[in-house]
Amino acid sequence: MTVQFTRNVDRRRFLQMAGAAGASGLLPLPGSIRRALAADAAPLASAVIAGKSDKMIVHNAKLGVMETPLDLLRDHPFTPKEILYNRLHFPIDLNGGWVATTAPASTETTRDWTILVSGLVQRPKTIKVSDLAKMDQVKRISVMQCAGNGRSYYWAKGKTAGSGWKHGGMGNLTWEGVPLMPLLKSLELGPDPSVTFLSANGKDVPPVVGGADLIKSYHLAAPQLQNAILALKMNGEPIPTVHGGPVRLIIPGFYGNMNIKWLTDLMLMDRENPSALMQKTYRMPFEPVEPGKFTTQDMTQQNTVPTYGFAIMSVVFAPLAGETVKAGNVDLKGVAWNDGVVPVTEVRVSVDQGRSWIAAEIDSSDGPTAWQHWQTRVALSAGAHEVWVRATDAWGRSQPMDGLTTWNPGGWDWHGVDRVAFQVA
Ligand SMILES: Nc1nc2c(c(=O)[nH]1)N[C@H]1C(S)=C(S)[C@@H](COP(=O)(O)O)O[C@H]1N2
Ligand SMILES: [Mo]
């Protein structure tokens, strides 16, 4: 299936290239295209999703899973669509691959798009995207991050399900749209008194009839939900189709899987949705678990909690692993982020393997749901060095010194202290 899809896409690109080459005669195919055509090569990102940079690391072509290398991610305060990580649950070529592009949805698609608001209510309603566009818009700056970001680091302890993300399964973005909670209220749905959860679903469907759909549920009292929007724009433009355009539920501070793309349904419920992608995966055990001793099938509502808010985390953007910097005063930089509610109050850096820690400066000017840019400067002599970084929030929550302590079968929630080895010359 993967092979089949990859070939089809490559063939289309091949024909386009062949056409271009044909006009001028004998132009050879660029090396990148030749590599994509080689049977065993990982496909280029742009062949999987039109408009993506070929510097992206493709983890799974069939599901459009791709990660941003850190040297690209650090260059932009707001992650451009060309390099934003991507993740889909169902094969990208369903429905003729309509999502496989960073271009916005067509005018017709946007005009005809409706969201059904239903569930335990007296008066179900529909909302048109064209009506949303006429309402007052608000802006949110927030981190989008897969709950599996950093998963590959868990593999030192034991294999998990899912793609091998390093730290590039995230981005920092601006979103514009209509605030969710006031909108729900204005619809005068007449909710049943038992209503406590909101569920959201998107247009994408599982490839097999009866397969688990991606439906996510949120407690209506969750603080992050009060900040949620039905977003129509990302980074100032209509949301790229592959990232959920024309309309996406954005809940600042909640992991990626909770931010439903191509939103079609909002349901007011008295419980979490029973779907497998809500109940059997995307959940974290309350107690530490060991590889082989606890599996996804052991998960219940009692022993696990859904991957809602981000665990507090920080990474180093400079220097990056393997880089060489000049001896003397060395600038150390990076970003931290948290659950979208509790501010990051401290970022500490160590260049002596955790014996002593230096407080870095934190720039929080984009608000608590955005990347918090940290930096500090240390004098370093020539040789091999390591920088470690650890963030703490106003509630005193911090990152485990040993990230492996939160190992879990889904590989979620990696937020161990980042340790980066580099050279000073
Ligand atoms: N409808 C829908 N929404 C979805 C998904 C999906 O497969 N379908 N994947 C989720 C997951 S797991 C993540 S990490 C984010 C990825 O967002 P991005 O691809 O725009 O970066 O989208 C989320 N929203
Ligand atoms: Mo994800």
pLDDT in tens, 206-260: 888 888 899 999 999 999 999 999 999 999 999 999 999 999 999 999 999 999 9
263 and 148 fall within a common domain: yes
Give the closest residue (by CA) to ligand 1 atom 10: 257
Q: Give distance in angstroms: CA of 130 to centre of ligand 2.
A: 28
Q: How far away, in angstroms, is 398 Cα from ligand 2 center?
A: 22
Cβ-count burial 136-150 (b if 16+ within 10 Å, e if not): ebeebbbbbbbbbbb
**Residue 415 within a domain:** yes
Ligand 1 center to residue 256 CA distance, Å? 6
Whether residue 153 sits in one domain with residue 203: yes
- Answer yes or no: is 196 within a domain: yes
Lowest mean pLDDT among 177-181, 263-267, 293-297, 322-326: 293-297
Q: Indicate which residue's Cα is closest to atom 6 of ligand 1.
A: 88
Report yes or no on 248 lying in a domain: yes
Report CA Rg, the chain.
22
Rounded distance from Cα 260 to ligand 1 centre (Å): 6
Are 64 and 206 in a shared domain? Answer: no
DSSP characters over 266-334: EEEESS----HHHHTSSEEESS---TTTS-GGG--TTTEEE--BPPPEEEEEESPTT-EE-SEEEEEEE
Which residue has tokens 């289309």? 12
Let me know: does 18 contact 40? Beta carbons within 8 Å: no
- What's the CA gap between 360 and 348, in Å, rounded? 6
Output the residue whose Cα is nearest ligand 1's atom 12: 257
Calculate mean pLDDT across residues 164-184. 98
Residues 216 and 350 in one domain: no
pLDDT digits (tens, 9 = 90+) for 384-418: 999 999 999 999 999 999 999 999 999 999 999 99
Per-residue pLDDT averaged across 339-356, rounded?
97
Residue 401 lies in a domain: yes
Checking phi first, is residue 49 left (phi over 0); if not, alpha (psi -120 to 50) or beta? Answer: beta
Q: Which residue has the least CA distance to atom 23 on ligand 1?
A: 257
Domain shared by 142 and 251, yes or no: yes
189 and 66 fall within a common domain: no
Q: Are residues 111 and 96 in the same domain?
A: no
> Alpha helices, DSSP H only, in 121-204?
129-132, 180-186
Whether residue 278 is found in the same domain as residue 360? no
Same domain? For 167 and 285 the reply is yes
In this structure, is residue 307 part of a structural domain? no
Question: Which of the pair, 297 or 131, is modelled with greater confidence?
Answer: 131
Distance 204 CA to ligand 1 centre (A): 10
Distance 286 CA to ligand 2 centre (A): 20
Q: Which residues line ligand 1 (CB under 6 A)?
A: 84-89, 144, 146, 202, 204, 214, 243-244, 256-257, 259-262
pTM, two decimal places? 0.90
pLDDT band at 94 (very low <50, low <70, confident <90, very high): confident
Are 271 and 383 contained in the same domain?
no
Q: Are residues 342 and 398 in the same domain?
A: yes
Q: What three-state secondary structure class fits 346?
A: strand
In the chain, how many H helices and how many E strands? 8, 23
Of 45, 69, 100, which residue is a domain's last?
100
Q: Which of 259, 264, 265, 266 to mutate to test the pocket of ligand 1 (most atoms within 8 A of CB)?
A: 259
Helix (H, G, I), strand (E, B) or coil at 72: helix
List the residue whose alpha carbon is closest to atom 20 of ligand 1: 243
Task: Kindly state the average pLDDT of the residues 167-186.
Answer: 98
Domain containing residue 13: 2-100
Give the mean pLDDT of the chain.
Answer: 90
Question: So what's the pLDDT on residue 15?
Answer: 28
CA angle 138, 142, 148 (to 5 degrees): 140
At residue 37, the pLDDT reads 45
Tell me the C-alpha distance between 312 and 309, whole Å: 9
| In a domain? residue 30 | yes
- Which amino acid makes up residue 51? G
Region 260-264: mean pLDDT is: 97
Q: What CATH number is given to the structural domain containing 215?
A: 3.90.420.10
* Domain endpoint, select from 74, 100, 126: 100
Residue 6: pLDDT band (50, 70, 90) is: very low
Judge whether 10 lies within some domain: yes
Query: What's the structural domain count of the chain?
Result: 3
* Cβ neighbours around 339 below 10 Å, total: 22
Q: Which residue has the higher pLDDT, 90 or 37?
A: 90
| Residue where a domain stops, chosen among 302, 326, 342 | 302
Q: Is the dihedral of CA 201, 205, 209, 210 positive or negative?
A: negative
Model confidence band, residue 41 (pLDDT cutoffs 50, 70, 90): low
Residues 6+ apart with CB under 8 A from 197: 217, 218, 219, 220, 268, 269, 270, 271, 272, 273
Out of 89, 99, 102, 277, mutate this one to test ligand 1's pocket (max ligand atoms within 8 Å of CB): namely 89
Residues 6 or more apart from 230 whose CB is under 8 A from it? 115, 127, 132, 177, 178, 180, 183, 247, 248, 249, 250, 263
93 lies in the same domain as 114: no
| 98: pLDDT strictly greater than 80 | yes
